[in-house]
Every structure is written in C-alpha cells, then in structure tokens.
A and B are shown apart, each in its own frame.
Chain A
Amino acid sequence: DGGITQSPKYLFRKEGQNVTLSCEQNLNHDAMYWYRQDPGQGLRLIYYSQIVNDFQKGDIAEGYSVSREKKESFPLTVTSAQKNPTAFYLCASSMGQGYTEAFFGQGTRLTVV
C-alpha cells in the first residue's frame, strides 16, 4: 500500500540530546513537509522540501535540521538548541508546488525529559 511511514510512534529523549525522526513515503511525491503540533495551536511548518537535495525553512525552523538525499526520505533532527522539543511531529507529502492535497503520516510523539 502507498503511504507515508513515520517512526518511531513514541520517542523519549533526555534533555540536551539530538534525536532524529524518520519519514519515508512511497507515493512518488516530490514535496515533503514537517509540521509540529501543540495543543490548541494547530500545525506549524518546520521545514519543507520541493525536490531532492533542496529544502526550505518554515515558520519555526530554529532548533531543527533536515536532509533530503532521497526522494522517498525526509528525516528531521531535533537538536539540543530547540528549547521546547516535546510535541507531536507530523510528516506530510504532496505531488509538488502549488499542491492540491497533502498526505500525512501517523506522527511521532516526542517527549524530552
């Protein structure tokens, strides 16, 4: 089945550690996105990539980094510079620029203790 896979579903890390969230898609989509979801705040865009080896900052990129070495993969690293990393992280993909629909993964809940 085609879709987006995020792993792991739950992740616990100690404060000060970097952590990488995985996102893989087999929809042959050009564009991929990372969103952060906090209660009562909707979804906020962290990074997006329209094509392999290229990505752009979203509204809240500070403390995060990404790579796009393969079309299918768009991992997100939450660095120790992110002041409040505990959140629900959602990865999405779409066919491309001016996208008409985004498909979402099941999310990763990151808890930093």
Chain B
Amino acid sequence: AQSVTQLDSQVPVFEEAPVELRCNYSSSVSVYLFWYVQYPNQGLQLLLKYLSGSTLVESINGFEAEFNKSQTSFHLRKPSVHISDTAEYFCAVTGTGANNLFFGTGTRLTVIP
C-alpha cells in the first residue's frame, strides 16, 4: 500500500512571498502523485499531477511540484503567493494499477495581506 505525509498542518505566508508545502510518500511500487486544492465547504480540485516523464510539473496558476524519487517527495512550490491561494492543499498518491488514492492530512495555506 501507499501512504502520504504532509509535514505541515498550517503554513502562514505573506502576500507575494514564496511558499513550499511539503509532501513525502511511501510506496513499494511505481506511483502517480497529485496535489489537490480545497476551498471552504467545497470539493477538491486537481492542481497538478505527476504520472511519468518530466519530474517538474506545473499548474496554470503558477504552482509547481517536483517529483524526487530518491527522497520520495513531491513538494509544492509557488514563487509569489496571492490572497486567493488561501485554501487547504492535499497531496495524494496511488500505485500504478491500484484502486485507491491515498491522501495526506492536508496543509492549510493562509496568505496574509
């Protein structure tokens, strides 16, 4: 089975500052990795995903994540955050061919004006 650890439950950051949300995973098989974002009282929206190929993946709103197999990490970064980035972010992993998506406990990003 797979598992995910999100090391920070809350991350406050000032507007226009850079941010990194950390995610480590464990798996005995090849994986797919995902970052989802959740706004209050809403469902989850896919932010970006790593399936194969380039280890650096980007979203349309300036986030990026890098798959690091040796460190079993998939940290999410943004060079300059905006107020609208305030939300909860979930890292998730699934084994290739698996039936379940394993989620971390989430990181609440709060952008301070």
Q: Mark A75-113, 1 if CB is under 8 A from B, else 0.
A: 000000000000010101000011111111111010000
Q: A43-B90, A90-B44, A107-B42 are in contact. Are A101 and B34 (CB under 8 A)?
A: yes
Q: Which B residues are in CB contact (< 8 Å) with A35?
A: 103
Q: Does B53 interact with chain A (Cβ within 8 Å)?
A: no
Q: Does B55 interact with chain A (Cβ within 8 Å)?
A: no
Q: Mark A26-56, 1 if CB is under 8 A from B, else 0.
A: 0000010101000011111100101000001
- Number of B positions contacting A (CB below 8 A): 24
Across the interface, do A100 and B99 meet the contact criterion of CB distance under 8 Å?
no
Shortest CB distance A113–B (Å)? 19
Residue of A nearest to B52 (CB): A100
Q: Which B residues are in CB contact (< 8 Å) with A100?
A: 32, 49, 51
Residue of A nearest to B44 (CB): A104
Q: Which A residues are in CB contact (< 8 Å) with B101?
A: 33, 45, 92, 99, 102
B1-21: which have CB < 8 Å to A?
9
B37-68: which have CB < 8 Å to A?
41-46, 49, 51
Shortest CB distance A89–B (Å)? 10
Across the interface, do A97 and B97 meet the contact criterion of CB distance under 8 Å?
yes
Q: Does B80 interact with chain A (Cβ within 8 Å)?
A: no
Across the interface, do A42 and B97 meet the contact criterion of CB distance under 8 Å?
no
Q: Does A58 interact with chain B (Cβ within 8 Å)?
A: yes
Q: Which A residues are in CB contact (< 8 Å) with B106?
A: 40, 42
Shortest CB distance B82–A (Å)? 23
Across the interface, do B43 and A104 meet the contact criterion of CB distance under 8 Å?
yes
Q: Which B residues are in CB contact (< 8 Å) with A43?
A: 44, 90, 103
Q: Roughly how many angstroms separate A33 CA and B94 CA in the complex, as a whole number?
A: 14
Seen from chain B, the residues whose Cβ lies within 8 Å of a Cβ on chain A are 9, 32, 34, 36, 41-46, 49, 51, 90, 94, 96-101, 103-106
